[in-house]
A and B are shown apart, each in its own frame.
Chain A
Amino acid sequence: MAENFSEHKSVLIKNGVIVGSKKPAVDILIENGVIKEIGNVTNHPTDIHIVDLKGAYVSPGWADIHVHLREPGREDEETISSGSDAAMAGGFTAVCCMPNTNPPLDSEDMITSIKERAVGHLVKVYPIGTVSKERKGEELAEIGNMVEAGAVGFSDDGDPVYDDALMRIALEYSKMFGVPIVNHSEVRSLAKGGVMNEGAVSARLGIPGIPSHAEDIMVARDIRLIELTNGRLHVPHISSIETLELVRRAKAKGLAVTCEVTPHHLSLTDTNFEKFDAAYKVNPPLRTEEDIDALRNGLADGTIDCIASDHAPHSPEENEADLLDAPFGLVGLETAFGVCVVNLLDTKVLNLEQLIEKLSAAPRKIYNLPPAEIKVGKNANMTFFDITTEWKVDSSQFLSQSRNTPYEGMTLKGKVLGVVNGNKVYQAD
């Protein structure tokens, strides 16, 4: 299979504006994957790959810490290779993949296998291991062995850790390894049978609802458990005002809690269900305008640490099912940045520097990933983009194998022009 990226001993990035720097456009010289020079590069080898950015932005490479790559088990929906391609097209040089594959990533062998399958790609894949053996929610998995094999955090994502005692043990035990526990926050008995946010819209449409309380009750429990254990909790995809408030209070107390928000929870409301389209069916569900406003403010004031897509590919067959049968989830890697520009930059919720921090440095910090920095002597790890180009979402152009997006046909803004990781370069058409 032809690669979507190329490898070069020497690369010259010309005329890029580094985000956060006061300087005008500069050149960046990369030799053997390492940044050699930043400035007006005049002296370079003749056999060199040149990328002329013509004044576009350069930032440290972005990381998406919540993706589902579906391999092993559902390679018809996504593979490590196609998901990595989608990530780089979306501007990401690193992803953290969730362990709810089939079989799940619950052992050092499974973690090693994911890492081996990802070798050679531009995008670095950091696996997250399961909290429990076989992801059954009963017994603690071999967290230590998985950390040694390269797991960066632990989650039974797709399902919550229901058992209070297991959650306590997981938070206590993982402390030794300095890794976070990531709990899919959902009280299942409250969410059961639900399709969309429970509220005024579901009342009118007669679509089974999931109250936001299903999320915040679980988060409240988990926060109490970190008070008990001094463990580290990362709350994925927060969707409601109440959950945000819980995290805000926990942070004020100095507890070790972090959280992420998805681009779709920052941009789409439950009123979309008037279309009865399963493309909007996602868990946690899309909430209301008030929730979106609160989440945006939470990002700006630092309560929410970072943005992550919860990229969840589904086959067309699953996607064609009716509203009750259709699975939860949407593909987000390739639309994340465009959605952020429209909903966070253009609305002045964040400035460009802040947005890039939420996409690059902040997510890496949560899982202790090596930082991406544009400095001489550092490994080249960067993303090129503009924030002005308007483009229409056409899922047939996605590098992801799946097409389940609610943004089809929508106009977004801000184009990813390419990424570099080491000596590997991807340039968008």
Chain B
Amino acid sequence: MPVLSDRHLLGLEGVPQKDIQLILDTAFTFREILDRPVPKVPTLQGQTVLNFFYESSTRTRMSFELAEKRLSADSINFSKSGSSASKGETLRDTIRTIEAMKIDTVVIRHSAPGSAKLMTGFIDSNIINAGDGAHEHPTQALLDMMTLQEHLNLKSLKGLKVAILGDIKHSRVARSNIHGLKTMGAEVMICGPSTLLPYEAEALGVHISTDINEALEFADVLNILRIQLERQKGGLFPSLREYRKFFGITMKRLNGYKKKFTIMHPGPLNRGVEIDADVADSEHSVILNQVLNGVAVRMAVLVLLTQTHNKGKNRSDG
């Protein structure tokens, strides 16, 4: 049985190419299962998975839950919004409670960067990071890469040019995509208002631009990030109207180029802000493929981490 280098998935930074490829290959086999009349396999029967969401999420949690059910795992959900300490309980206290419940795999989303990593020090379960602050959201980047391979019918992402557009500074999706795409040999540009690019963004090792035309010139693929409305309220750019004018992806903008862009968006969409409705619904949009592939990628990750964990155990037993 193939295994990964680690039994946790905390981020894509530092994850070897062969691991990412293995996850993507495995996801494609699960994708076939999802197309069957009875899309369910017994692979994780008897395994318990906790979806531990400290920050509100609908899509990611549903996607993980569905992946778990398709694999016949027992899944339970924990949701709590807001910060932990303000409610009198530390993250570590909650972790200890979970440990006592003997959970095999924990899927965690939390507003604090590093919260998934923090968990690994205190618990024996496999940990999957479903988003920790602005740090990483690895399964999102994996499903993005899978969707690109599928849509463009590519064996490898090598040389593919991807522009990630919007609020890079506060985006875990951007960071995971940057790490994953670079590891797989793609070329990445980040583009957005200068107030939404990280200070010293050069550290990310990608092309940087604040000119949308430069990004369109560069890219085969546009990964359009959601503009969080609170960023505008926080004064990082003057208005949604102005954002759309300078960075919004409209048909008119795309039609200025001969090439056919692949349009991605992690959702939920602000139609008429970062992306126009006709772009989102066009033949080049793979937004709904991303959603379906999300389930397949999460099935692959759940299974591979379990196999990796079990192999580690056998090794120490023998």
Contacts and interface: CB of A to CB of B under 8 A. Distances in A.
Physical interaction between A and B:
yes
Interface of A: 195, 198-209, 211, 275-277, 317-318, 320-326
Given A206-B113, A207-B113, A276-B114, A324 B200 contact: no
Given A320-B92, A322-B91, A322-B118, A203 B199 contact: yes
28 contacts: A199-B199, A199-B203, A200-B203, A202-B198, A203-B203, A204-B175, A204-B204, A205-B114, A206-B171, A206-B172, A206-B175, A207-B134, A208-B134, A209-B199, A276-B113, A318-B85, A320-B90, A321-B85, A321-B90, A321-B91, A322-B84, A322-B85, A322-B110, A322-B114, A322-B115, A323-B113, A324-B83, A325-B83
Contacts of A200: 200, 202-203
Given A203-B198, A206-B175, A322 B135 contact: no
Given A199-B199, A204-B204, A323 B115 contact: yes
B311 interface: no
B118 A276 contact: yes
Given A202-B200, A276-B114, 11 more contacts: A200-B202, A203-B201, A203-B203, A206-B171, A320-B91, A320-B92, A323-B115, A323-B118, A323-B133, A325-B84, A325-B85
A320 B84 CA distance: 11
Interface of B: 13, 83-86, 90-93, 110-115, 117-118, 133-136, 170-172, 175, 198-204
B62 to A, nearest CB: 24
A324 B111 contact: yes
Contacts of B171: 206
Nearest to A209: B199
B113 to A, nearest CB: 5
Given A200-B200, A321-B91, A206 B133 contact: yes
Nearest to B122: A320
B260 to A, nearest CB: 32
**A-side interface mostly:** loop
Contacts, number: 89
A195 B198 CA distance: 15
Given A206-B175, A276-B113, A321 B84 contact: yes
Contacts of B111: 324
A199 B92 CA distance: 28
B114 A204 contact: no
A199 B200 contact: yes
Given A323-B114, A325-B112, A207 B85 contact: no
Nearest to B203: A200
A207 B171 CA distance: 11
A265 B114 CA distance: 23
Report, nearest first, the 10 A-B pairs whose CB atoms are least far apart. Answer: A276-B114, A200-B203, A206-B134, A322-B112, A203-B198, A325-B85, A206-B135, A320-B90, A320-B92, A324-B112
Contacts of B134: 206-208
Contacts of A324: 83, 111-113, 133
Contacts of A277: 114
B137 to A, nearest CB: 10
Contacts of A209: 199
Contacts of A204: 13, 175, 203-204
B202 A276 contact: no
Given A202-B198, A206-B113, A324-B133, A317 B203 contact: no
Query: Which among A208, A211, A323, A326 has the highest number of chain B CB atoms within 10 Å?
Result: A323
Contacts of B201: 203
A202 B204 CA distance: 10
Contact of A211 (B13, B90, B170, B199): B199
A321 B13 CA distance: 24
A326 B118 CA distance: 13
Given A199-B199, A200-B200, A206-B175, A325 B113 contact: no
Contacts of A276: 113-115, 117-118
Contacts of B170: 206
Contacts of B86: 325
Contacts of A206: 113, 133-136, 170-172, 175
